[in-house]
Structure 1
Amino acid sequence: MIPRTIIAAHLARSTTLRASFAYPSCVSRTAVRCFINSRGSSCETQQRSYSGSTSAAQSEKETITKLLYNIGSRKEVEQYLRHFSSVESQKFAVIKVGGAVLTDELDTLTSAITFLNRVGLYPIVLHGAGPQLNNLLEKAGVVPDYHDGIRITDEKTLEIARKVFMAENLKLVESLEKMGTRARPLPGGVFTAQYLDKERYGFVGKITGVNKEVIEASIRAGALPILTSLAETPSGQILNVNADVAAGELARVLEPLKIVYLNEKNGLYNGETGKKIDVINLDEEYEDLLKQPWVKYGTKLKIKEIKELLDHLPRSSSVAIISAGHLHKELFTDSGAGTLIRRGFKLFHHNSLQQLDKDRFRKIMEREDPTVKSGQISVSSYLHQLENSKEGFKAYGDEPYEVLAVVRNNDEAGSGVPKLDKFIATKAAVLNNVTDNVWALLSKDYPALTWEVDENDANKGWHFDKAEGSFTKGGKTLFWKGLSDIGTIEKVVSNFLDSQSKRAVNAATSGGSFAAGQRRSFSTMKQASRSLAVGSRRMFSTSTSSQRDVKKIGLIGARGYTGQELIRLVNNHPSLEISFVSSRELEGKPLEGYTKSSINYVNLSAEQVKEKTKSGEVDAWILALPNGVCKPFVEAVESIEEGRKMVLCDLSADFRFTDSWTYGLPEFNRAKIPGATRISNPGCYATGSQLAIRPLLSHLGGAPSIFGVSGYSGAGTKPSPNNDLNNLTDNLIPYSLTNHIHEREVSHHLGYDVNFMPHVAPFFQGISLTVNMPLNKTMTAGDIRELYEVAYGDEKLVHVIKGVPWVKENSGKHFARIGGFGVHSSGKRVVVVATIDNLLKGAATQAVQNLNLALGLGEYTGIPLD
């Protein structure tokens, strides 16, 4: 049971979103300490017993997470938690703590670290002890001496330093343990070093190695590692090392997502304006920043050291300079609290198609733009529109095209106000605040702007923050900024309403609509416009079930990458809707990426699936479960089937060899799928391999050999060496070199034995298959290509090309590409290359293709074909 003091504090402060806290601002220091100390003691009259059980730990984690919601939105907190939890524990964060923080803010620091640990994170803490050391040296009559900014460490200084570091280390560990947070003191044994310059600096070290096993052992034992910056020579001599330098060396070895420097000032400050610097993007700002007159001495050295550190780390790593009391807001909100320093990317702004990287432009549009993904417009058509725009346009983004914004210099209704036509971003770009950088750049060029966003857009809160006014109708929200004239605002809104009346949407705004000749006033105050938008908010649907035959889908096992793609496809499908989505790990959480209705994950048992089947709440079940798991659900459905049979589409390999199930490779089995109720979705490698081989099946002169390379998404979300990016970098990993299940699957369905050699590569999504096939007669490349063009001439999800298909050109596409057709000089051997997206045509897209056929819908309904 949660102590009443926590509940009272939480409710009393739940509406406060201030950032000045020694603990998260939603609760008082007393309440936080009461809650944390309740792990083994009493708080007023309430007692809470912790036996270490999973349920107690989970309950505590959920409570702490809810408290974090008061410093940022639920979406922000959960997004960052997933981000931080996506890597190994030791790769979350290195936190460098200054000695003054240990002296002046020990309680604040301890509670901040405890909060992180309660949500399952393991920061690695390294502390200094400069002020404490100076104090003891003064008492001992030792005058500190520095050379080139480095403390000269003689024998007496080193003797005192060792005692100070040990004492401060134990002080922090004991403070954490009192709050019920396991911590392990590591005052030595982590850093190895050699003398920096014994004659000049004495016992000062230069780090030559980091023993990360000591740190990892502590985390495996469930204890936070608490380090000092003392190092040892190979012979065992203790050496003093600057704590900032030690933190940097530690980060180089562990490559964490975050390197945090705690200071009392809560960030870096502009020496001229006195304002805190929120973000520094080094690739964009570094050279100009160093030219600023106030960037000198220690500030310049700090920025240079951070630049050198981040240059050697992944772009996902960043440095935060923050106070202990603001640590949570910095880590778990988009706005942050201290100074965030990252490499970032240089930004671009172009006003012609010739300046754009069209391949990257196409990729982000296909992956992130809802109008392209739903098939409303193709990328080619959109580019054509921009090219023929009379008023012109300007495109903004970052170098890798993680963010793309397009501004048209006038909207189509002729209001005279530029329109932000596109603003799309990847999740990584949102997490790293690249969106804000691009927004700041385009805002300099366009102080006045309008734009529209779907009412249920997942990032709608971000748009509210940027806008000065808004109006919602028909499932769309109109935003504007920089419009001070009420007449212009009325014209913009009227144009928006006119465009809405032309859209086939079955929605109405709760705030009413304009009658003929009626005027309606608008407030340009942000708070008033937010109220208007919230007042008119509702679920959006393009049509109702009375107008079309909507099929209800139940999705079991939706946590993985394929499940996410299925959700995205169903969300954009005009005739499919999700009734239930089941996941044990995500139970109770909202289904992200689905906007047709509000759905939470449930953890359905086989018995519950049986009941929902019996009640007619679903028309088809998709089983997106690991191999060997779905049988109880199938048996549950089959136990109550009478008359009408339920459609089951299984994405695992459980029924791919079962004759009573229809093998769902439509290109070769299309006649059997309509009306089928048991469909086994083929494997990704198996789909691509069969597409590559089947047109030559009657011409084979021996067993085909398939060299397959998949992105690491094919290894699933469960951590393994095959999806560990550190293991994959500059690497190609072969696995299951014989008897792979897809080798057996291809051989079984082709009726011809094949040899298959799978590999995993360091790209995320896609498959390349190089298939070597002996021929039973002499053939030319032209002969073979003609066979494939005839075989797949009418297939919308198989494209035959003249060149060699590349993975990056097929990633995110719903069709397979086949090409290459390299024939040996003998004419008796050919090499064919096929590419396929393992998550789409290799899984989710094919499942939708099969469901469409089985449920009597158009085969390609809801599948983008461009």
Structure 2
Amino acid sequence: MLSHAARCIPRTVATNLNSRSGQTFRAFYATIQSLRRAPPSIPELDDIDPADNDFIMSVLRANPSLRDTQAYRAYFNLVPPPPPRKPDELQKESMAKPQAARETLLPEVAPQTQSPVIASILNPIHRRTALVKVQGPFTDRQVDSIARGMVYLEKLGLLSVLVVDNYSIPKGGDGERSAIVEETMRVVTALEKQGARARPVLGAVVRLGPKPGDEEDPEPQDHSIPEAHTFPSDLVHIRSALRAGEIPVIPPLALDSFCRSVRVDSNDVVAALVRGMAEAAALDGFGQTQKDGVEPSTPSEDIDLTPLRLMIINKEGGVPSYARSGLPHLLVNLTSEYTYIRDTFDKQWKSTHPSAMSNLDLARTCLAYMPPTSSAVMVSHRSPSSLIANLITNKPAISSSLPHAMLESNGVLTAHTPTLLRRGLPIRVIRSPADIDRAKLKNLLEQSFGRKLDEGSFWKRIDDYLDFVVVAGDYAGAAIVTNESATVPSSFSPVAYLDKFAVLPSHQGDGTVDFLWVALHDESYGLGLPFSANPNGGKQGVGQGRDLVWRSRANNPVNKWYFERSTGHLRMGDWVLFWCDAEVRLKTVEGRRANAGLSYLEDWEHGRLSSWGEVVMKIPSSWKQNV
């Protein structure tokens, strides 16, 4: 059910718009609120201008959940404007006041000119920014596609700062600077052609070398220190452009020690800007609410320079994955996967993805200075609409926790599928009950489920039946798996039972759920396959896969998520039994069926569901009753 604020936004704003703009607004907000069925007020797509048509379709494809919508609105502080007041109400109010007061009030209540439709739709209290690396060379048509994506983001309240580079322009060659400036102006022209206001910032805004004081920092960093830096005073042109509603477009130039403007690697410029803009935003007072509960003193009309997203747009797309035969990674946990991804990068990919590793390093460096909820996306120029989905949902285009067979068989995963990168959390596997921090696990379970744990029976069951626990970070999430083999007939494969799957509310939506499920997959039903050899502290893909079984209340809203990730399910009264078959066995059966007419129900499958159901339904509840 939508909140009162969500329900009143279309009604209060659309009345002030013309007919077509009102239709566009209702279509947009119906999508943002994740209404699965289009309301009657949504117009036919043919009734919308082509640019709006394309924009609305891009938002529709994002398909955000209610949680995604709430997070998006929170980022931009979207609040409904006050309802328009009727003329007779204004007249009665003014007549109720003394004459002098009426004379003072009358000019203030005069109708005001409406702002443009997009500003009326969004008008965020805190406008947010993104750093975008446009990594050419691109044709004019490709630049137009990229510019259209930037305009879409601007409509959604995200102001982009573009750093333009063209890797085909040789460094140190004759006419290098003029070629870079020309490339920058080409992007500016494309943005203006799409209806945006753009401002070229052709002077250097960063300085070569580490920031003064970096060499004195004794703490080791888990990321590279940017090889350039910037001060708040250097950002005056960027800040001015953003305040004016213009998109700054910057060439990869930096000041050297002799104050000469020289061309540098665009990654150095982007990293320096991310760090500098985050530090400038902190000086402005943004981001203090989360720390001390005090509202920032900065006027709400100012711009929060803290980069909310890092976007790397190129021709090659995301980072090739060892688990997907060179197709892109979907979601990367940089904290736990960075080294392994570099170690498993195939040499043959250097020809097709020459900048993949340098962009991976760039994302790791930038995300270290960005808020924990921020993300980086590496996307091909062919997928500008993916930027909208990333902004609204902050999730990968395709969930990395979906079954591999689903991703491989229906062609949803292509070479142009974006790679989403998060700072992430360390993942580890615990196999001994003695190694569990029981206080932290108890806190996680009670916060996640909103119920009180029956500690006596729960810990006894863990001591007797524990197989392993996958822990994300400092118990930000956990998947508890028990071994039920002793209670299952020997004719069936050993069964791993997913006793609990929990993530702290503060980490729901930041990728922890997918990171946790992928590790769970690697340690249970996915074990034994090459793409399960992930660095999660477990068996590294070596071993025999086991069927994973779990139960969930029939009215659990999470069941839709379970349906998409399970091999099958069976309704049992008030419960639903889910299972994931061991994938090695499925591949073996698939190979046999390719050469022989086999039934769809194998001998080893007969009777197992009733056996699982009998075992699972006898497992006692972990929660205190009536508390």
Give the TM-score, by structure 1 length.
0.43
Q: Which amino acid aligns with 1:481?
A: C
Counterpart secondary structure, 1:431: coil
Equivalent residue for 1:74, pick from 65, 79, 83 = 65
Q: Which residue of 2 aligns with 1:440?
A: 518
Q: Which amino acid aligns with 2:377?
A: A
Equivalent residue for 1:248, pick from 271, 275, 278 = 271
The reply to whether residue 34 of structure 1 matches residue 50 of structure 2 is: yes
Q: 1:314 to 1:221 in 2, by over 3 A?
A: same
Q: Hey, what's the Cα distance between the residues in 2 that align with 1:265 and 1:157?
A: 24
Say whether the 8 Å CA contact 1:189–1:232 is kept in structure 2. no
The reply to whether residue 358 of structure 1 matches residue 435 of structure 2 is: no
Q: Which residue of 2 aligns with 1:431?
A: 509
Q: Which residue of 1 aligns with 2:556?
A: 457
Q: Which residue of 2 aligns with 1:158?
A: 177
- Following superposition, the deviation at residue 261 of structure 1 comes to 0.4
Counterpart secondary structure, 2:194: helix
Write the deviation string for residues 41-72 of structure 1: whole angstroms up to 9, x where unpaired.
xxxxxxxxxxxxxxxxxxxxxx94x8624333
Question: What is the number of residues matched between the two proteins?
Answer: 429
Equivalent residue for 1:303, pick from 360, 366, 369 = 360
Q: Which amino acid aligns with 1:268?
A: V
Counterpart secondary structure, 1:479: strand
Q: Which residue of 1 aligns with 2:207?
A: 193
Say whether the 8 Å CA contact 1:361–1:401 is kept in structure 2. yes
Q: Hey, what's the Cα distance between the residues in 2 that align with 1:303 and 1:490?
A: 48
- Following superposition, the deviation at residue 288 of structure 1 comes to 2.7
Counterpart secondary structure, 1:123: strand
Q: 1:427 to 1:117 in 2, by over 3 A?
A: farther
Equivalent residue for 1:85, pick from 63, 66, 76 = 76
- Following superposition, the deviation at residue 313 of structure 1 comes to 4.5
Q: Hey, what's the Cα distance between the residues in 2 that align with 1:269 and 1:32?
A: 38
Equivalent residue for 1:477, pick from 566, 573, 576 = 576
Q: Hey, what's the Cα distance between the residues in 1 that align with 2:497 and 2:337?
A: 28
Q: 1:99 to 1:232 in 2, by over 3 A?
A: same
Write the deviation string for residues 71-116 of structure 1: whole angstroms up to 9, x where unpaired.
3343364155246436995654211112334634233223322222
Equivalent residue for 1:172, pick from 181, 190, 203 = 190
Q: Which residue of 2 aligns with 1:290?
A: 342
- Following superposition, the deviation at residue 29 of structure 1 comes to 11
Range with bigger deviation, 308-317 or 231-240: 231-240
Runs of 5+ unmatched residues, structure 1: 14-25, 39-62, 135-143, 145-150, 197-204, 504-571, 575-861
Q: Hey, what's the Cα distance between the residues in 2 that align with 1:214 and 1:269?
A: 37
Runs of 5+ unmatched residues, structure 2: 1-18, 32-41, 78-123, 211-226, 279-306, 398-416, 526-546, 583-601
What are the residue-to-residue correspondences of 1:115-130 with 2, within 5 Å? 115-130=152-167
Counterpart secondary structure, 1:384: helix
- Following superposition, the deviation at residue 244 of structure 1 comes to 2.5
Q: 1:27 to 1:122 in 2, by over 3 A?
A: farther
Q: Alpha carbon RMSD of aligned pairs, Å? A: 4.3
Write the deviation string for residues 685-717 of structure 1: whole angstroms up to 9, x where unpaired.
xxxxxxxxxxxxxxxxxxxxxxxxxxxxxxxxx
Whichever of the two has the greater Rg, that structure is 1
Equivalent residue for 2:567, pick from 461, 464, 468 = 468
Range with bigger deviation, 112-121 or 213-222: 213-222
The reply to whether residue 110 of structure 1 matches residue 110 of structure 2 is: no
Q: Which residue of 1 aligns with 2:388?
A: 328
The reply to whether residue 281 of structure 1 matches residue 333 of structure 2 is: yes
- Following superposition, the deviation at residue 427 of structure 1 comes to 4.2
Q: Hey, what's the Cα distance between the residues in 1 that align with 2:456 and 2:615?
A: 27
Range with bigger deviation, 280-289 or 216-225: 216-225
Q: 1:80 to 1:461 in 2, by over 3 A?
A: farther
Q: Which amino acid aligns with 1:36?
A: D
Say whether the 8 Å CA contact 2:440–2:475 is kept in structure 1. yes
Q: Which amino acid aligns with 1:407?
A: V
Q: 1:449 to 1:33 in 2, by over 3 A?
A: same
Say whether the 8 Å CA contact 1:169–1:227 is kept in structure 2. no
Write the deviation string for residues 406-465 of structure 1: whole angstroms up to 9, x where unpaired.
111118975763211100113454423222222222223321111122334343332122
Say whether the 8 Å CA contact 2:477–2:512 is kept in structure 1. yes
Q: Hey, what's the Cα distance between the residues in 2 that align with 1:308 and 1:240?
A: 21
- Following superposition, the deviation at residue 475 of structure 1 comes to 4.5
Write the deviation string for residues 606-645 of structure 1: whole angstroms up to 9, x where unpaired.
xxxxxxxxxxxxxxxxxxxxxxxxxxxxxxxxxxxxxxxx
Q: Hey, what's the Cα distance between the residues in 2 that align with 1:264 and 1:88?
A: 35
Say whether the 8 Å CA contact 2:165–2:252 is kept in structure 1. yes
Say whether the 8 Å CA contact 1:96–1:127 is kept in structure 2. yes
Q: Which amino acid aligns with 2:342?
A: L
Q: Which residue of 2 aligns with 1:846?
A: none
Q: Which amino acid aligns with 2:239?
A: E
Q: Which residue of 2 aligns with 1:268?
A: 319
Q: Hey, what's the Cα distance between the residues in 1 that align with 2:624 and 2:156?
A: 37
Counterpart secondary structure, 1:319: strand
Say whether the 8 Å CA contact 1:124–1:225 is kept in structure 2. yes
Q: Which amino acid aligns with 1:323?
A: S
- Following superposition, the deviation at residue 32 of structure 1 comes to 7.6
What are the residue-to-residue correspondences of 1:664-675 with 2, within 5 Å? none
Q: 1:365 to 1:293 in 2, by over 3 A?
A: closer
Q: Hey, what's the Cα distance between the residues in 1 that align with 2:75 and 2:138?
A: 25
Give the TM-score, by structure 2 length.
0.58
Q: Hey, what's the Cα distance between the residues in 2 that align with 1:27 and 1:125?
A: 34
Counterpart secondary structure, 2:159: coil
Say whether the 8 Å CA contact 1:96–1:247 is kept in structure 2. yes
Q: Hey, what's the Cα distance between the residues in 1 that align with 2:237 and 2:249?
A: 11
- Following superposition, the deviation at residue 303 of structure 1 comes to 3.2
Write the deviation string for residues 248-276 of structure 1: whole angstroms up to 9, x where unpaired.
21112234232110112321224793222
Q: Which residue of 1 aligns with 2:612?
A: 492
Q: Which amino acid aligns with 1:152?
A: G
Q: Which amino acid aligns with 1:187?
A: V
